[in-house]
Chain A
């Protein structure tokens, strides 16, 4: 098919050859648009991107030669050029003939530079599309003219809207295969409009195209005389970019780094999220609320008179105000809010499901805090938009849940400010990015529940008992001997006139925690409650001994964080699985092996041994009596 391989339509500007200096002057003022293309597997997404690159002359002769050869070898278009091969980058993908991850492509026209996030359309890759959409100004939703609006079209539109993309293009592709039929195009647009308005998408731009033939991509097509709107490129070149809208909002800059080369200079570096700033402006540092004014906007090329959203700058203050990484510098009389409890939408991105109650790192702007998420209020079925009840969120699930942070966070609702409203969650053990989220609003409750100050202090409680409070936290496999040793330790301490209390796993499950089962989520909640009880008991001056399997490192660390420094003593009762199973005092291993008992630690649920416990008891070499003596000696030297 020779017309496809004809000269690129985007002929290089004649000015390049005639007057390069003039050309450069013009092109230094290009703006940039980031967009995402979403489509189902066969909507021709890769072909469209390949076409955009080709038409804008981003494909060179050597690449074209390689493409022609590849097209014949592995292409899906017979002897014709398979543009999709240009963008299916990784070897594994080319073998499978699918796109498996987010890829970024670049092209430029005479007016703009474009960054395209190319994301796959498969259901299991919601996370990739959300990733691509997070930085996009615009979304091109591709629809195959022969198939019309599919489930995936709805999903892609929902996700684009969820991530706050205001500019949506409905590209009705493969018009060549339906004879450029206006009626088909109109029907698809009507169906989409009805659906889009349900989602809250009020405006979108429908364009009939053929990525393969090039209709209405760069040039208005003679095949669609009934279409009066812009070509795809026309539209991409003229639509408003996010940074322009952000500049009109109130000033906010998260502080990344404090610049202090010597005693005479102290600057605060960051990327301006919204608004603009000038020397003399009154600003407020959050969360402290301290105010000052800007004296200088410092750059290597000299001080600036003004800086706007999207610029990376260094600001200097008139006063010595405390300000460090994680703080937000904002307009003094219109600052963002500070809160520690929120409602949010969460997109789960990890194979390991969300555990309500487990602490995760939450990164928002330049702030990193510890956060726990409550059981979701509901999960959204991304195909039907139905709200479903959910106890957790699994890979690619999207839900709405409340979350609380261990420190106040400077924030704005995501719809107003992507930088101060968008966050990621990081697993504290694997360090993987497990979720992305968007804050809706703060929960007023956070401001209304205050600590009741009590007159008899925890120090006073402890002094009356003449002891230092502590938590001896026993952890280990079922049948390791935790309860036996813990019991001996308590007896020995009682003989020494120490005030103690033993919290035993089985006993607690008969009362306080009788509503909990043995799923991962319930195990987390079990430990959280025990941790809170142990904490109250240390406030009362007691030495608390706990005997729980407590299989997960994260939760043990969470309890450690609840206690006063030095008061949490982790005791690992270290028994091999073989030994514990051989002993099998309660006959539980046998039941677990036969499948009668589910989620049994060591068998079908993991045990994460402590990396660096305060005390480690090797049960192969110590009797229970010897172990108890050793623990008491460590507590009371």
Chain B
């Protein structure tokens, strides 16, 4: 009997995340869930559905879109909004749109305008005071030190030296005027936890996580997928069909694939366990500004 009562690590993580989601809904005025359609978002959304069942989660989903996501991501996004009974808000930075900002010609400016600026604009536009995000502490060094309730100034900046202490499971959600909160309910999950949870709970995820023959080019040491005809081929480049999958999803021109034959979740987990490179390696965004890349971005208002 005593043994049966010892919760597994996934049960404890799930209970903690649900507790966080409910605290925010009870204490914030206008919460929203940032939904990026990746696997972490998928788990976060699933946890929200569990937390409030039989009610639908009492907040909308917000997708800060760059127009450069994979086609499969847009499909799943619309489907999940329908199935969860939640309102889906899609925001595209009008200035980035007008100036035709894209990852091929504008490099870092692309992320800055579509994502960082787009997110700030969307939160200001709707007046959300609390935004759920799917970041995990094991992803990146600066995140390991970020609180679960992370406060942002009126200009959305993060001050790592001035964070509120977080004790037990008591969260102080009281804000000063102009402040907003980013809340990370899956802070304590690792990549492997996410995969195991998806496997055990049949959480729907984008098929790009599974290996398939897809058109690719190799560029700057990354394997990129030619997802649509906006992909400008350089002289001598010719899309080649390869069996690939993605460990992480973002804008397709910025997201590196890995060659793989993992077609099922157990295969993917097996590959994850046997792999020797870290997850975000496939993303160009962390490599700017040396080791402090993400910390700097966060101080500027990136999620």
The interface of chain A, by Cβ under 8 A from chain B, is 12, 16-17, 20-21, 23-24, 27-32, 58, 60-63, 66, 70, 87, 89-92, 94, 100-106, 108, 112-113, 115, 127-128, 130-131, 134-135, 241, 243-244, 247-248, 256-257, 259-261, 265, 267, 269-271, 276, 298-301, 308-312, 314, 325, 349, 361, 363-366, 418-419, 422-424, 426, 430-433, 436
Contact = CB atoms under 8 A, between A and B. Distances in A.
Majority DSSP secondary structure for residues of A touching B? mixed
Most chain B CB neighbours (cut-off 10 Å) among A23, A112, A256, A309: A256
B167 A130 contact: yes
Contact of B295 (A90, A271, A423): A90
A298 B53 contact: yes
B82 interface: no
A101 B160 contact: yes
Given A101-B160, A312-B14, A325 B26 contact: yes
Contacts of B142: 89-90
- Would you list the 4 A-B pairs with minimal beta carbon distance, nearest first? A32-B9, A89-B141, A91-B292, A312-B18
A92 B55 CA distance: 44
A61 B277 CA distance: 5
Contacts of B106: none
Given A104-B188, A267-B54, A271-B169, 14 more contacts: A12-B273, A24-B266, A28-B10, A63-B278, A92-B160, A104-B144, A128-B165, A276-B5, A312-B18, A363-B170, A422-B168, A426-B174, A431-B174, A431-B175
Contact of A419 (B7, B164, B168): B168
Interface in B10-63: 10-16, 18-19, 22-23, 25-26, 49-56
Contacts of B54: 259, 261, 265, 267, 298
A61 B170 contact: no
B90 interface: no
A113 B15 contact: no
Nearest to B164: A433
Contact of A103 (B11, B144, B164, B176): B144
A366 B26 contact: yes
Contact of A432 (B164, B166, B192): B164
Contact of B193 (A17, A70, A113): A113
A244 B296 CA distance: 41
Contacts of B161: 92, 100-101
B174 A361 contact: yes
Contact of A28 (B163, B172, B200): B200
Contact of B269 (A20, A94, A131, A365): A20
B5 A244 contact: yes
A244 B55 CA distance: 31
Contacts of A241: 6
A256 B19 contact: yes
A271 B19 contact: yes
Contacts of A91: 291-292, 295-296
Contact of A60 (B160, B163, B196, B276): B276
Interface of B: 2, 5-16, 18-19, 22-23, 25-26, 49-56, 137-138, 141-142, 144-145, 160-161, 163-170, 172, 174-176, 187-188, 190, 192-193, 196, 199-200, 266-267, 269-270, 273-278, 281, 291-292, 295-296
A259 B58 CA distance: 10
Majority DSSP secondary structure for residues of B touching A? helix
Nearest to A60: B278
A506 B63 CA distance: 61
A270 to B, nearest CB: 8
24 contacts: A16-B273, A17-B274, A20-B267, A30-B9, A31-B6, A31-B9, A61-B277, A62-B281, A91-B292, A102-B145, A108-B190, A108-B192, A113-B190, A130-B165, A131-B165, A135-B167, A259-B54, A265-B54, A300-B50, A300-B53, A426-B172, A432-B164, A433-B164, A433-B165
B188 A106 contact: yes
A63 B56 CA distance: 41
B165 A104 contact: no
Contact of B291 (A58, A94, A433): A94
Given A31-B7, A269-B22, A310 B12 contact: yes
A436 B145 contact: no
Contacts of A271: 15-16, 18-19, 169
Given A91-B292, A300-B49, A311-B7, A423 B276 contact: no
A21 B193 contact: no
Nearest to B12: A32
A586 B9 CA distance: 69
